[in-house]
Structure 1
Amino acid sequence: MDITLLGHFVAAAEAPDFARAAQALGVSRDTLSASVKQVEAELGYALFDRSAESTMLTEIGIAFLADARLELAHAAGRGSQPGAAGGSGGGSGGGKAKASKGRGRAPAVKGQPKLGKKRQSR
């Protein structure tokens, strides 16, 4: 199961309602709701009681929340170790930003003579 989906489920389960969980995650409420529905579809069980006025977990949801927290903690531990499979820490990779090759030079201005170049005489 996708770690992002697990993170969305845990945030929704711990928050008083989906709107606050979505705000804390920086996603829309619809995105959060779709993520939770996708988790429920993958598991085949309803994790939230949709008839309640606030966010209420079902018994299966409570049991799954503990497993989801462990999985997230385990994934965070793998990601922080250099050289771990799927991790983004340490190592030299192609994803690093490169320094500008023109660093230290003044920008060229149209119509002005180039610095360091002498004008050609006629």
Structure 2
Amino acid sequence: METADLRHFLAVAAEGHYSRAANREHVSRATIQSSIAALETELGRNLVSDVEDGVVLTDAGTAFVEEAAARVAKAPTPPVNRGGKAKASKGKGRAPIVKGEPKPFKKRQGR
């Protein structure tokens, strides 16, 4: 079981709706649904059932909520990417052309 799948399941359990859970986790609705499907196939039982205005947990899903929360709490947090060192761009060595100004040109060599 992947931690992301468990987090997605917990979001669906808390929100009761795929779309609201997807917004909460900042992923697409299809990702949430595939995570739930992966958990259901791995466990061999249905965790949620669709109703007209969202989803409800089945008895197995209600029992699995505590176990999923415990596994997510024990999982190590992934490192945060704080970015790297900014690189200076290598420009052309002159200011950009300003709208309305004539383009700079090379002077011809006199004779």
On whether the aligned pair clears a TM of 0.5, the verdict is yes
Correspondences of 1:16-95 after superposition (within 5 Å): 16-50=16-50, 52-53=51-52, 54-75=54-75, 78-79=76-77, 88=79
Q: Deviations over 1:4-41 (max 9, x none)?
A: 11011110111031111111111111111111011101
For residue 55 of structure 1, give the secondary structure of its aligned residue in structure 2.
strand
- Say how many residue pairs are matched: 94
Deviating 4+ runs (over 2 angstroms): 95-102, 106-111
Name the structure with the higher strand share. Answer: 2
Measured after TM superposition, the shift of residue 96 of structure 1 is 7.3
- TM score, norm. by length of structure 2: 0.69
- The equivalent residue for 1:92 is none
In structure 1, distance between residues paired with 2:33 and 2:87: 46
What TM-score results when the alignment is normalised by the length of structure 1? 0.64
CA separation of 1:28 and 1:88: change in aligned 2, threshold 3 A: closer
Post-superposition offset of 1:107: 4.7
- Alpha-carbon spacing, 1:18–1:99, altered in 2? closer, same or farther (3 Å): closer
Which runs of no fewer than 5 residues in structure 1 stay unpaired?
A: 80-86, 90-94, 112-122
What is the percentage of aligned positions where both structures have the same residue?
31
Higher Cα Rg, which structure: 2
Pairing partner for 1:109 from 92, 101, 110: 92
CA RMSD of aligned residues (A): 2.6
Where does structure 2 lack aligned partners over 5 or more consecutive residues? 95-111
Cα distance, 1:2–1:107 mapped onto 2, change above 3 Å: same
Q: CA offsets, 1:73-109, max 9 Å, x none?
A: 111xx33xxxxxxx638xxxxx87553576xxx9553
